[in-house]
Structure 1
Amino acid sequence: MAVQIIQDPATNMIEIQASGLLTTEDYETFLPRVEKAIEEHGKINLMFVMEHVDGWEVGAFWDDLKFGFKHHGDLNRIAIVGDKKWEIAMAKIGQYFTSAEVKFFSASDQHHAIDWFRVGGTSPAKA
């Protein structure tokens, strides 16, 4: 899987762009960056852009759950960007594992997610 991490101080956001199958190694790559941002800035926004994501390895799914429990109150907003129905479902399910607001945005509406982080406005989100 390919993972790219982008940090935007203007929106207090970390964007994780992912494709393929999420693995434990992917989580070992981006979770330390997310945790460092939380330590430095307090609550952050997280955007997870899923381009052709095929799912999670069992270990990676477990890493995701552990992160959610550990940082339950450390995220302000989470935007999940993609185009598959199961990604919409993941956004809805994800709401139960965090105190953050979680919304799904289609890939064509990714700019609305950034606006949502910036001004906290409404959006055409589906979740």
Structure 2
Amino acid sequence: MMYRLLADAAMVVHFAFLAYMAVGGFLAWRWPRTIWIHLAVAAWGAMSVVTGVECPLTLVEDWARRQAGQDGLPPSGFIDHYIEGVIYPEEYTNVARLGVAVLVLFSYAGYVLRRQ
């Protein structure tokens, strides 16, 4: 039971992390100090896309699901399992990535303009 709760918690935190990566820069418009947190999150997201490094939250969820006697995440990972083919078709992966990048850049441009 505890492993299943841990796996579910890792999944929820992972979704929150991805949502913050996409739109968290806009929070810095209201709370400017949060820009540093968002820069770190955005850098991690960009690095994981470019290098393919696996997110620790994916590893935790996969391990906890296996410990709970469930199937773990597929080798393709969290995004391929929960998002691609569910929220958008797989062939639009690059469009989705570009959309997130545009959101982040727009939020940073707005942050800079609001700080002036």
- Where on the TM-score scale, by shorter chain, does this alignment land: which range? under 0.3
Greater C-alpha radius of gyration: 2
Q: Which has the higher helix share?
A: 2
TM value normalised by structure 2: 0.26
Q: Which has the higher strand share?
A: 1
TM value normalised by structure 1: 0.25
Larger RCO (CA under 8 A, 6+ residues apart): 2
